[in-house]
Structure 1
Amino acid sequence: MKSKVNKLTESVSDIDRVSRAVSLSIKTHRKQQKLSLDELSRRAGVSKGMLVEIEKGSANPSIAILCKVAAALGLSVAEIVNISDDPPAYRIDPAAMPVLWQGEKGGTARLLAGTRGPDMIELWRWEMHPGESFASAGHPQRTWELLHVEQGELTLTIAEQSLQVPQGSAAVARTAAPHGYANRTSQLLVFTMTVAEMHSH
């Protein structure tokens, strides 16, 4: 059941659009870097079978898998889903903001904007219905998340620590360790999140 929760889903057109963008992007960057599927699989810690399915456009990878493949290619998730560009300033329209997680009760995580990486910054907007949760195995060492709760109350868990973040409050978290977000209330939870992953020293 859990595998269904983390999929790239929304409307069929959104699934198709994101799958096509991810498929083409990963294949193109892998070939540019002269990496075999076996080598990318080893670097990313993702099975070769999954990579084949992704490149064919027939798999909807989870956020965790996208993060691993992006990191192995030295890219940001935004670059892989094609919402990143090079000019000093550019606009991203709502239709180009992919939903990369959907909860079992209709919650969503939408990637609003992101920089080109390996040093990447992403802006997300999450909506979680009562009882929904999301777990991450953790990011690279130098990763920070800044969260601001617009509505409801977020339960943020990192390793052994659990933090309640009520409406109007913000939180700063180092998210190399396993972590998760949950809505343990009876109200809708809405929060924005910035993820900064720094690789250079």
Structure 2
Amino acid sequence: MSTPPADRPDARTASHLARNLVSLRHTRALTQDALAKAAAVPRSTIANLESGDGNPSLAVLVKVAGALGVPIDELLASPRAMVRQWPADEVATRTKGRGVNIRALVPEPVPEELMEVMDFEPGAVMGGTPHLPGTREFFTCLDGRVNLMVAGERYELDTGDVLAFPGNLPHSYQNGDALKPARGVSVVVLAKAGV
């Protein structure tokens, strides 16, 4: 079977898929083998898709997109179509603990990471979520003062301070000021189950 001319729609789609797949895989620091294992497909399938020679079934696209944590259309889209803007009111926000509002820092799924902006009302308190052993958490205080309790020890963070700690240890957050709000960013690098 001959390769379709580059100006045909199916050839453009294969080219977009190849470029997007390589880019997404590199962004997530995955080898072809690791992506193939996560998607439950042969490594040769990933290699064929990245070369632009693949003709994947919908089932294969679903598996690969799922392993990368992206919608199928992001695998097939032209580079310009991959640009997306979210108005602030479309980024999900939730309340946790007493007086803590949390919103995603990145509104798309990022495999093995959780990134959130945390807004603390004056005096706010929140218990942390325990994670698997091997998880690493980083908290950056952006504004105000936030106190973290990690395994029974208290850490006081002022604006600009960063605290890193094992995410499986018991931990909690408190706005250290009863009169002013505080803000921070939490980045959780999740451990892989069974590793």
**TM-score, with length taken from structure 2:** 0.52
Alignment-derived partner of residue 163 in structure 1: 155
Alignment-derived partner of residue 61 in structure 1: none
- Residues 96 and 173 from structure 1, CA distance in 2 versus in 1: closer, same or farther, beyond 3 angstroms? farther
Structure 1 runs of 4+ aligned residues shifted over 6 Å read none
TM superposition shift of 1:121 = 0.8
Which of 128, 136, 151 lines up with 1:136 in the alignment? 128
Alignment-derived partner of residue 122 in structure 1: 114
Q: Answer yes or no: is the 8 Å Cα contact 1:129–1:189 preserved in 2.
A: yes
TM superposition shift of 1:187 = 1.9
Alignment-derived partner of residue 95 in structure 2: 101
Which of 183, 187, 192 lines up with 2:175 in the alignment? 183
Q: Answer yes or no: is the 8 Å Cα contact 2:145–2:157 preserved in 1.
A: yes
Alignment-derived partner of residue 194 in structure 1: 187
Unpaired stretches in structure 2, ≥5 consecutive residues: 1-65, 76-81
Identity percentage of aligned residues: 15
Q: Letter of the aligned partner of 2:115 in structure 1? A: L
Q: Give the 5 Å matches for 1:2-81.
A: none
Q: Letter of the aligned partner of 2:171 in structure 1? A: H
Q: Which has the larger radius of gyration?
A: 2
Deviations 1:44-67 (A, max 9, x none): xxxxxxxxxxxxxxxxxxxxxxxx
Q: Letter of the aligned partner of 2:123 in structure 1? A: G
**TM-score, with length taken from structure 1:** 0.50
Distance (whole Å) between structure 2 residues aligned to residue 171 and residue 133 of structure 1: 17
Q: Letter of the aligned partner of 1:133 in structure 2? A: V
Deviations 1:75-121 (A, max 9, x none): 9xxx7xxxx6464765461333211325544x41112325354xx11
- Residues 145 and 92 from structure 1, CA distance in 2 versus in 1: closer, same or farther, beyond 3 angstroms? farther
User: Number of matched residues?
Assistant: 118
TM superposition shift of 1:129 = 1.2
SS at 2:123 equivalent: coil
Q: CA RMSD in A?
A: 2.8
SS at 1:156 equivalent: strand
Distance (whole Å) between structure 1 residues aligned to residue 164 and residue 129 of structure 2: 18
